[in-house]
Structure 1
């Protein structure tokens, strides 16, 4: 052990000399195949991590990136994060021209030092040093070097092959030297076998060479799902001086519960008394949970607080309720404490939040997630509570945390659970309306919309907008209607049914097109599907729709006096693995037309060879929704 520590000491002394020696970088030397579609090229990117014990981690980074054009400026990424447990030992940037001639040098004192969190954060010790460099010409090359030391070995940052789209790679690696007794664990996502892995006791190196750019394509999976990645974790670790040992979710979840969650559930007696009275006549446990959840919503607000054991420990429940604010951790812990005061068990769950449905990796126990939610297991069902929102309906998560694996931290260990998946039959939007068309081509009427499930989640943003912003939102939603005027808006939310009803009175001049004795009128007045994904000569990524749904449309269009229906669109029926579509336009007496339409979009992951079929389906739907009828002047 003593010999091993001596080797570490020698290594750390030599790292800046061996790894960070000056080399001339000329753009002309970049292999031609790495220039195709590249806004930047990573010439070399070395991350060398040394972990001599469970209380120290030293990370030395050298990143050399050539920026070919203005679009590549954002790829420079000349920044480093730090906090009370993480110290920036050295920091330097050299900028050279296309021939490798030095243009400028920046040292640590030249970097801007700012908070690493948004204005919505009240307390945090997280900060970032960053360099805001403005180039005078292209191409140019940035040589970024840093040495960072931390006492926190609980979290080892993941290593990704790509950090940006349209950025090629010449040479890149991560190397970790560690005390073998710490038990370094790692897991790679490398579907195409692009990683080169070298491994021996106390040593791991993963590298890639000469990789072209990864492009953006419409409807593609998330960047996280596309990019080859390596995740790391220690079986013996330390954070804020608290040591832990864990190699699976049961062990890690138990450690997190003991050190992050347990013992923070005390509440003032007057609060407990209020809750006792609140639920006294509740007919069942679910109703008790509902009332307690709404009590929390009505008495708190969300403010980020990122202090205590790496920003992972929630503030105690009594402090959150007394102050009236907290972050996701504090508000979730408070709700759990309120439920516990009534003998109701709940689980503090860590989740990857965001619209891409990223799951906690159930096969690799490590510090994961960016959000916390609450799970309440009842005998008849499991309830899920989003505790950071003062407006979210009870037992509804929406598209922020739906349909993904989370880890519940319990006294017995970590338990992987799955959040609810909102099916296409639950994600509905019913649009109806009666419209009158006058002889000047102006259409007017009332549109009624009722949304549920994920469609409700999206449309409920209207509830929090002022009148001006609502009008803008409707004009954007119905952007295919020229000269649209919003006369009035009525909104009614039903949190029991988790639905939103909208009543919008509209008018639009020149909606119909007059041509001699004929009038051309779009039949789908206010519910058109218009998105047609881009055509690709060679699609390289699967196309994904994570949340399908059903749109039902029913319109009655009254035609002006002196006109009769001359031609109506033919019925349309489309069936596809990606969804279905029907359109039926029929006369409704002599003076009106009835339009009935249904669009069903399935959840799908379309392979590259299915993309043309998918695009054809969407194009046909969009064209059908643009169908028109012809009126003839009598």
Structure 2
């Protein structure tokens, strides 16, 4: 089982008043600190965060895994109050469960030049059920205000040692000192993996440990029973590894990042082998093939997938026997989407099972999409489940039993793969919910073997805007707009706007663009997934033309212009994730006001990035009182490596320059 340390709180500032990382040593100077010396924008900082994971032996229970963490946090601003709260995830299903104990949780404040100490009370500590398998221990520290220092300790006791809690050295606030130490008996071997771009200092050591096994033996002689007690002491070697980092800067969010935790400095441990004295060598080493095989053989996956009697009558009613594969896929997919409702729980395993989920019309990702696969197979289609790690779950760089947390469906036909996810009402074949678009999944075949499947879209989703407008002598622009959304752009439009009223949407649109007033508005195909979403509306814009003297300076992109480069950093370590390839296309026709002529037009321009990652074309012309602008911007890859960052930054610089250039009109 994996116990993930989900710390809402953590990590630190670069000031350091004490070299000892112990609780209870809060000073007046620490409480008086107004800003973080290393990052004046920091809302909070972790003075230290120290953890250790070790094995504890109990006579009746054997080895247990224990993790202890102590932390000290400084709160600088109101926006940092959330760092005084903490959430710790733990496994809570069945007989073997994990336990979490919070202690020494104290808020320190400076009151009349004296240190006031407020302990966490029972009202600030509670457990929250996350799902069938996991719960959270949550604490909310008392009397938190600007200047507070927070301390706490927690312990996790776990009967599972297949994985350690992952340790994050880096957070979104500065970290002054972070330390994680593991104590591993010689019987256990772990695979260790690192994420992120920071390398901790590693110290390795060892020591001898022992545990006692108590036993008793009863003997009977001449009708007299006696009991003899004995203790056997077993010695073993224990390897100690300490990982430290100091003065870690805050992990800054950047534009177009998939999941920042993919790039956060982290260490993970997964069990590789166990060999007790005199026992057999048990290998737990994982490959992608073994991970998927173990999931497939689990009764809550493979056995559930093979059930099909519960939907037979409904499948017959769909009358899919005499139609093509594509029609069968469409009918079954639409039926499952319509019938089933996702309970917003991601899992590779069924919870209540496919029969109950089907009956109740509600299920998790595994139940809904295993139902879909089973129905497609029953209908004669070559369908298989695909294991996915959602974007929130992160990218799995190494094989692990916790690599995947979601299931979708895949259909192979005529040498092509069609991806399906019936948990979302707006999904279509090869148009998946955004959470699924996370590099690669693993397709499991009927015989239990598996292959990688690329989840990322390859074709560009279009957004086509047509504008016919006129500029009057006051500089007001009036006209009509037709905006067509295709594929993933249509999916996102439906996800965002289908649940709100037309008035609310128009209000949102007008607030987004200063000086915009929308008149008559209509939208087509918002519920017809086979067609693009089409918006038509009349508009007036009072913010697209500047009049200086006898000249007008017109922004031809009106309120659609990209006015700021989203890529501002000098360097970038993370890939740029646009989610899906995209094409923005504009066809703009402007009529200039009577009595004016064009003095200058922007120059046409075309630009292409290396490897054809992206391109744009800007073509503008003038005939009489008509100005025509044709613009196409293609982003041809969903994910762009950081090695192309400088080129991408310059590419967007040119886009901003072109889209903000003015047409100059002068009086004739």
Category of TM-score, reference length = shorter chain: 0.7 to 0.9
- From 271, 292, 316, give the equivalent of 2:332: 292
Contact 1:195 1:207 in 2 (8 A): yes
User: For residue 264 of structure 2, what is the aligned residue in structure 1?
Assistant: 227
Q: Of the candidates 46, 55, 79, which is equivalent to residue 51 of structure 2? A: 46
TM-superposition CA deviations, 1:588-628 (whole Å, max 9, x none)? 4x3322111122345464658x7666444323321321222
CA distance in structure 2 between the aligned counterparts of 1:220 and 1:275, rounded to whole angstroms? 42
Task: Name the residue aligned to 2:120.
Answer: 106
Q: Please identify, of 550-559 and 243-252, the stretch whose mean Cα deviation from structure 2 is larger.
A: 243-252
1:378 corresponds in structure 2 to 413
Instruction: Tell me by how many angstroms 1:382 deviates.
Output: 1.6
Secondary structure of 2:120's partner?
A: strand
Which ranges of structure 1 fall in alignment gaps of 5 or more residues? Answer: 1-18, 238-242
Q: Deviations over 1:512-539 (max 9, x none)?
A: 3444443332222353222313655x54
Q: With structure 2 as the length reference, what TM-score do the two structures score?
A: 0.77
TM superposition score normalised by structure 1: 0.81
Provide structure 2 residue ranges, at least 5 long, that are not aligned to the other structure. Answer: 1-19, 207-236, 275-281
Tell me, yes or no, if structure 1 residue 571 matches structure 2 residue 573: no
Report the secondary structure of 1:253's partner residue.
helix
Q: Which residue of 2 aligns with 1:9?
A: none
1:619 aligns with one of 653, 657, 667: 653
Counterpart in the other structure of 2:225: none
Q: Deviations over 1:551-579 (max 9, x none)?
A: 22111112334444343323233444464
Structure 1 segments of 4+ aligned residues over 6 angstroms from their partners: none
> Any conservation in 1 of the 2:107–2:142 contact (CA below 8 Å)?
no
In 2, distance between residues paired with 1:129 and 1:244? 36
CA contact (8 A) 1:580 1:599 kept: yes
Aligned: 1:207 with 2:243: yes
Against the structure 1 CA distance between its residues 151 and 208, is the aligned structure 2 distance closer, same or farther, given a 3 Å change threshold?
A: same
**1:618 and 1:380 mapped to 2: Cα distance?**
38
Is 1:448 matched with 2:485?
A: no
Residue 187 of structure 1 and its aligned partner are, at CA, apart by 1.8
Of 355, 359, 367, the residue aligned with 2:395 is 359
Do residues 130 (structure 1) and 139 (structure 2) align?
yes
Q: State how many pairs are aligned.
A: 591
CA-CA distance at 1:545 after TM superposition: 4.2
Are 1:263 and 2:272 counterparts? Answer: no
Deviations 1:70-109 (A, max 9, x none): 44433344333343422234534133458995612225x3
1:467: Cα distance to partner? 0.7
1:521 aligns with 2:554: yes
2:174 aligned with 1:167: yes
Aligned mates of 2:400, 2:251 — CA distance in 1 = 31
Does the 8 Å contact 2:181/2:243 carry over to 1? yes
Name the counterpart of 2:439: 404
Could you list the per-position Cα deviations for residues 362-418 of structure 1 after superposition, in whole angstroms to 9, with x for gaps in the alignment? x33231234322223335212211221022112322532225122345565573523
Q: Report the equivalent of 1:24.
A: 25
C-alpha contact (below 8 Å) 2:192/2:268 kept by paired residues: yes
Report the alpha carbon displacement of residue 135 of structure 1 after superposing the two structures with TM: 2.0
Tell me, in whole angstroms, the C-alpha distance in 2 between the residues paired with 1:50 and 1:498.
Answer: 59
Given the alignment of the two structures, is residue 189 of structure 1 paired with residue 211 of structure 2, yes or no? Answer: no
Equivalent residue of 2:350, what SS?
coil
**Per the alignment, do residues 289 and 483 of structure 1 end up closer, same or farther by CA in structure 2, a change over 3 Å counting?**
closer
Contact 1:232-1:366 within 8 A present in 2 as well: no
Distance 1:390 1:157 in 2: 36
Structure ID, larger Rg = 2
Partner Cα separation in structure 1 for residue 530 and residue 284 of structure 2: 46
SS in 2 for 1:488: strand
Deviations 1:334-379 (A, max 9, x none): 2122223334453333322228x94333x33231234322223335
Is residue 145 from structure 1 mapped to residue 147 from structure 2 by the alignment? Answer: no
- Equivalences for residues 366-515 of structure 1 within 5 A: 366-402=401-437, 404-409=439-444, 413=448, 415-423=450-458, 426-460=460-494, 461-475=496-510, 479=513, 482-492=515-525, 499-509=532-542, 511-515=544-548
Q: Contact (CA 8 Å) 2:391, 2:438: kept in 1 or not?
A: no
Please give the residue correspondences for 1:335-354 in structure 2 after superposition, counting only pairs within 5 Å.
335-354=372-391
Classify 1:552/1:341 alpha carbon distance in 2 versus 1 (closer, same or farther; 3 Å): same
